[in-house]
């Protein structure tokens, strides 16, 4: 066993306690244990949340300029440590180095988007919504928020979450996958080096014990999650039951529809790239290829030619195009779909168990499974209904465009879909008709840029908001609307009436406000461009030269202050304004 030891990051430094439980970290290329990771108990989660809660008090009040300075510094540090992060990812996840570096680059895009937080948090302002009254909106941080992330993108998926959360003024608690935890700790160190105050970013490792502690903790206001649909549903239901805001991104069965007019070479390249990149361990991987008659046979032949030339080997070998799967148990589960798929009527066109592995002698115990393809898969085959999450591509034959769309929309998942065609009208129709959250047109993996939001529909998303983009900003903040008036010294008194925005004389918005222009000892004279009104102190009645009849109170001061233009109130009621009562 190697001596790698990964522990929590709490309050700006590594945790120094003794863990009651630990988990093994594997090198997927060799199958050997490479180190151990501490598993958090409820107490460690409590410590992390306490540190975050204390840090959030000052971080949320820190100026946007200061927060952005930290974000820019963090961005530069992550960029300069891309190779280090990629190496950690490759060693624990197994993906090839170029794919790992690409993951880090996509995460940096979200950091760059978060650097625009001064603009993203700008509210609205309306002057004089009522006379002398202004209204404006602001967005404020929630406090302590958490992220629970999967093994397949140990750097990118956390960076979908915490840059925006921290930029918005929150403190963050991350629970990464225990299978590949090292990247998250390096990111924590880079945050500290960038000048982030202690406690704003914390990492706790572990399993369901840590997850449940996060979901139940009353000081955590919101939880983001990415993972399988059953766990996403559990996180959403448990978190919301505890009063939290939750966005839980679940599983997928991403379809790629190939119409008869498509460029089949382009489609074959896309199917191989999207189906087998990162060993198929992507939530946006193409796992269901819908071939619309009559292109199926020719398309599969082109895919087979390309797969035969793929180099499968250790991610650290720059010649490798596809690495191993993350664990032996996961490899065995994925491989089992090849036999079960055939047993349920499919034909095994490409058997990845026979694909050669470079350096096989040194890596005989690695978690290997080469690219595989099942043809003539039916919609009731478990190879189609289950999210396999590995390098197994299922081909479904469709007789028409309409049948292909119905097949896509009939899936319980709604994460991503792609259509390959040279017909613009067909593509436009498909974009409108498919019930999927992210759509690609001649693009096999339609992952949005950071300034758009990522997320699916149906069983691929639990909650109301997607991650990053403007929806991410809204998820990590809450809105507040302020209505403000600085009172004139002559106004005061108590008014228990409901605050309303009353109009000018007669209820006509076209009629201007009135003002006190004089008095004759018995009557106060109120003038406006359309009328002159006399208010009797004795009777409380009014005489209006213009045809406007308005009731008035019985008492108006004989010598009211403000003669010569000071506003005295509305003719509709003619009472003086009280605190809490709006004037129009």
Q: In Å, what is the CA distance from 64 to each residue of 69, 115, 330?
A: 8, 10, 44
Per-residue confidence at 536, pLDDT binned at 50, 70, 90?
very low
What is the distance between the alpha carbons of residues 347 and 350, in angstroms, rounded to a whole number? 9
What is the distance between the alpha carbons of residues 484 and 181, in angstroms, rounded to a whole number? 49
pLDDT of residue 550: 43
Judging by DSSP bridges, how do beta strands 32-39 and 21-27 pair with one another? antiparallel
What is the distance between the alpha carbons of residues 299 and 173, in angstroms, rounded to a whole number? 46
pLDDT digits (tens, 9 = 90+) for 37-79: 999 999 999 999 999 999 999 999 999 999 999 999 999 999 9
- Catalytic one among 115, 283, 434, 528? 283
Query: What residues contact residue 175 under an 8 Å CB cut-off, 6+ apart?
Result: 40, 146, 147, 148, 149, 203, 204, 205, 206, 210, 211, 214
Q: Reply yes or no on whether 115 is catalytic.
A: no
Q: 436-465 in b/e burial notation, b at 16+ Cβ within 10 A?
A: bbbbbeeebbbeeebeebbbbebbbbbbeb
pLDDT at 294 over 80: yes
Burial classification of residue 374, based on how many CB atoms lie within 10 Å of its CB (0-12 exposed, 13-18 middle, 19 or more buried)? buried
Judging by DSSP bridges, how do beta strands 416-420 and 254-258 pair with one another? parallel
pTM: predicted TM-score of the whole model, two decimal places:
0.85
Q: Domains, the chain, ranges and CATH?
A: 4-250+470-481 (3.40.605.10), 254-447 (3.40.309.10), 487-584 (no CATH)
Q: What is the mean pLDDT of residues 186-203?
A: 98
pLDDT of residue 546: 45
Q: Which among 582, 573, 580 has a CA at the least distance from the CA of 500?
A: 582
User: What is residue 436's three-state secondary structure?
Assistant: coil
Judging by DSSP bridges, how do beta strands 347-350 and 372-375 pair with one another? antiparallel
pLDDT of residue 496: 83
């Amino acid at each position: 066993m190697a001596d790698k030891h990964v522990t929590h990051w709490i309050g700006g430094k590594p945790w120094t306690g003794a863990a009651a439980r630990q988990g093994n970290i594997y090198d997927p290329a060799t199958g050997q244990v490479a180190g151990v990771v501490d598993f958090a108990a409820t107490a460690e989660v409590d410590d992390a949340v306490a540190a975050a809660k204390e840090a959030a008090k000052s971080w949320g009040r820190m100026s946007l300029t200061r927060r952005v300075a930290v974000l820019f510094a963090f961005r530069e540090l992550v960029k300069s440590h891309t190779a280090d992060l990629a190496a950690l990812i490759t060693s624990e996840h197994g993906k090839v180095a170029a794919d790992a570096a690409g993951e880090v680059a996509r995460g940096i895009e979200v950091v760059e988007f978060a650097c625009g937080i001064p603009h993203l948090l700008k509210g609205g302002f309306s002057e004089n919504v009522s006379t002398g009254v202004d209204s404006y909106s602001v967005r404020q941080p929630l406090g302590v928020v958490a992220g629970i992330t999967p093994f397949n993108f140990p750097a990118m998926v956390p960076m979908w979450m915490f840059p925006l959360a921290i930029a918005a003024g929150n403190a963050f608690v991350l629970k990464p996958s225990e299978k590949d935890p090292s990247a998250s700790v390096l990111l924590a160190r880079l945050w500290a080096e960038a000048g982030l105050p202690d406690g704003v970013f914390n990492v706790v490792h572990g399993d369901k014990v840590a997850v449940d502690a996060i979901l139940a903790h009353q000081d955590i206001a919101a939880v983001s999650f990415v993972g399988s649909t059953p766990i996403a549903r559990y996180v959403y239901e448990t978190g919301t039951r505890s009063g939290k805001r939750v966005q839980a991104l679940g599983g997928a069965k991403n379809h790629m529809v190939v119409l008869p007019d498509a460029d089949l070479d382009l489609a074959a390249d896309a199917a191989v790239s999207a189906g087998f990149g990162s060993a198929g361990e992507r939530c946006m991987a193409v796992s269901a290829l819908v071939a619309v008659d009559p292109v199926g046979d020719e398309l599969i032949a082109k895919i087979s030619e390309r797969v035969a030339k793929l180099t499968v080997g250790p991610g650290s070998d720059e010649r490798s195009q596809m690495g191993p799967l993350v664990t032996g148990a996961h490899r065995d589960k994925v491989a089992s779909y090849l036999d079960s798929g055939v047993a349920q009527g499919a034909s095994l066109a490409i058997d990845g168990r026979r694909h050669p592995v470079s350096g096989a002698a040194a890596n005989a115990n690695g978690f290997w499974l080469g690219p595989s393809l099942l043809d003539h898969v039916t919609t009731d085959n478990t190879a189609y209904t289950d999210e396999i999450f590995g390098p197994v591509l299922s081909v479904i034959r469709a007789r028409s465009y309409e049948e292909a769309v119905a097949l896509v929309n009939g899936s319980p998942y709604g994460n991503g879909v792609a259509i390959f065609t040279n017909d613009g009208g067909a593509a436009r129709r498909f974009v409108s008709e498919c019930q999927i959250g992210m759509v690609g047109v001649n693009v096999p993996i339609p992952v949005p840029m950071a300034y758009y939001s990522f997320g699916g529909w149906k069983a691929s998303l639990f909650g109301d908001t997607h991650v990053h983009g403007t929806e991410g900003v809204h998820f990590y903040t809450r809105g507040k609307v302020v209505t403000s008036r600085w009172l004139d010294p002559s106004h005061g008194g108590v008014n228990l009436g409901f605050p309303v925005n009353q109009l000018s004389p007669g209820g006509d918005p076209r009629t201007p406000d009135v003002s006190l222009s004089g008095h004759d000892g018995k009557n106060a004279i109120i003038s406006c461009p359309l009328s002159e009104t006399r208010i009797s102190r004795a009777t409380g009645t009014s005489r209006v030269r213009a045809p406007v009849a308005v009731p008035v109170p019985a008492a108006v001061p004989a010598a009211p202050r403000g003669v010569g233009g000071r506003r005295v109130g509305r003719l509709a009621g003619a009472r003086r304004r009280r605190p809490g009562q709006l004037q129009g």
